[in-house]
Amino acid sequence: MGQGFSSGNALFVYLDKPHYFPGDVVNGYVLLNCVSAFQASALVLKVEGYEKTMWEERVEDKRFDNDKNEWITDTRTNNYHGRKDFFKLKVPLSSYPQQVNPGQYQYGFTFALPVGLPGSFEYVDSGMCTGAGRTYYHTKAKIKYKVKAEAEVPGILKPNIRHKAYMMVHQRMVKPPSEVIASDNKHIKSCCCMDKGYANMIANIQKDAYYAGEVANVILQVDNKSEAAFREIQLELKRVVVLRADGAGYREMKDSMAKAKFPGVSAGDTLMGGAARVLSLPLPGTLQPTAMGHLVHSEYVLYVTLKAEGTFTSDAKLKVPVAIFANVPDYTQYNAPPPYWQPQTVMPAIQVAMPSAPPLPPPPQVMDDRGYQPPQPTYDGPSAPPAPGGGYPKI
């Protein structure tokens, strides 16, 4: 801040915390350092919360040209954009009848963030992604919250003096994590139609919600009654980002965020009860938290996969949605302006009235790799009894 005030007239927006949760009270200051007198009609505070999406889609359509007796490829480009404002306010902090004289001015403000806001999020992919006959470019998505101060200077050619500060908003874990048991009896096939039998999977997921940096623990029971051998067991966390645009634009992206491999299961082998496998997957501390907006939806899915030997033999897979939350330390100390800031004018804090957040939409269906919604596995409560063969091993 000192560097910003060293060369001329400047504004600075000072917030009291590095991060906030929906429903938190935000306290702050707008600091105006006037080195030389200037004309200004007003000093205003702008508070915004919004989500925004954009991407470019190129589609190739093939058609047969009878005159040339050949196939021709036509390429069309679709540009998608979306924006939704959660709130967008402009509040006057001060009016200036003539000019702003040299000195230091301090204006306080306070407001409460609406309950039910999605967390801050940002996704940027400037490269190229191809799939299903479509090529995507320049994909960007964000959920942002910011406070901006602006001294409105009269005259078209005279720029306003302004500064903005972004608020990092995290969704709060409102209830303790729950244990989840997912199970399915997978039909194993080779070459799409050759019956290999069934492999029964029961995955006991310790929690359905984690803080970034924690370890996901899974107890896996397998009753492999098939003729297929599984060379390895994979435990993988994938992020599914679903973007919508104004109108009908839709895009879905999947990224692998963490993966661990474990010894496989032989044909006819049984790993039930006390013989169950304990699988652990460390989660990166850099994971962006789950974000559930209207246009931007980012969630995580934990995959437990039995990878079959042979190229043409189907795998056995379970998937369970899990929530990721930001692992942020407690922060209660209020940050006052630094001691070298000595304002001659200190205005009392104004109360900014915030609207209620619009209700969030239901989460989108998570598609599988072939583009449709597969049957969901069975979810039992944490009191479900273990499968026959003895108790689960301890984690």
67 vs 26, residue with greater confidence: 26
In terms of pLDDT, which residue wins out, 136 or 238?
238
Distance CA 95, CA 99 (A): 10
Residue 1 lies in a domain: no
pLDDT tens string 351-370: 999 888 766 665 554 433 32
For residues 23 and 147, membership in a common domain is answered with: yes
Q: Which of 43-52, 87-96, 151-160, 163-172 has the lowest mean pLDDT?
A: 151-160
371 within a domain of the structure (yes/no): no
Q: Over 80: is that where the pLDDT of 267 sits?
A: yes
Residue 300 lies in a domain: yes
Domains identified in the chain, total number: 2
- Stretch 325-337: mean pLDDT, rounded? 73
- Provide mean pLDDT across the span 135-143: 92
Same domain, yes or no: 58 and 114: yes
Q: Which residues contact 362 (CB under 8 A, 6 or more apart)?
A: none
pTM for this one? Answer: 0.82
- pLDDT exceeds cutoff 90 at 222: yes
> Are 293 and 199 contained in the same domain?
yes
Position 100 in a domain:
yes
Residue 383 in this model has a pLDDT that exceeds 50: no
Together in a domain, 89 and 147: yes
Of 21-35, 123-137, 180-194, the one with minimum mean pLDDT is 123-137
Amino acid identity at 79: N
Same domain, 25 and 96: yes
Query: What domain range is 275 assigned to?
Result: 180-327
For residue 151, tell me if it sits in a domain.
yes
261 belongs to a structural domain: yes
Do both 150 and 79 map to the same domain?
A: yes
The pLDDT mean for the chain works out to 84
Do 130 and 27 fall within a single domain?
yes
142 in a structural domain: yes
The pLDDT of residue 131 is 65
Same domain, yes or no: 53 and 163: yes
Least confident window among 76-90, 182-196, 209-223, 271-285: 182-196
* Measured CA distances, 68 to 64, 267, 377 (Å): 9, 56, 52
Residues 6+ apart with CB under 8 A from 7: 35
Residue 395 lies in a domain: no
Give per-residue pLDDT as tens, 285-306: 999 999 999 999 999 999 999 9
Residues linked to residue 84 through DSSP beta bridges, in sequence order: 51
Taking 3-state DSSP, the helix, strand and coil percentages for the chain, each rounded to the nearest 5, stand at 0, 55, 40
Cβ-Cβ contacts under 8 Å for 183 (sequence gap 6 or more): 200, 201, 202, 203, 318, 377, 378, 380
pLDDT (average), residues 61-70: 83
Do residues 360 and 293 touch, judged by C-beta distance below 8 A? Answer: yes
Residues 124 and 88 placed together within one structural domain of the fold: yes
CATH number of the domain at 93, please. 2.60.40.640
Confidence (pLDDT) at 145:
97
* 272 φ/ψ angles, rounded to the nearest 5 degrees: -120, 155
Judge if 222 and 293 occupy the same domain.
yes
Determine the Cα–Cα distance for residues 222 and 319; give it in Å rounded to an integer. 15
SS3 216: strand
Q: How confident is the model at residue 202 (pLDDT cuts 50, 70, 90)?
A: very high
Six-digit token pair at 37?
């007198």
pLDDT band at 2 (very low <50, low <70, confident <90, very high): very low
Q: Could you tell me if 161 and 215 lie in one domain?
A: no
Look at residue 377 and tell me whether its pLDDT is greater than 90: no
Q: In angstroms, rounded to a whole number, what is the distance separating the alpha carbons of residues 354 and 23?
A: 11
- 190 in the same domain as 126: no
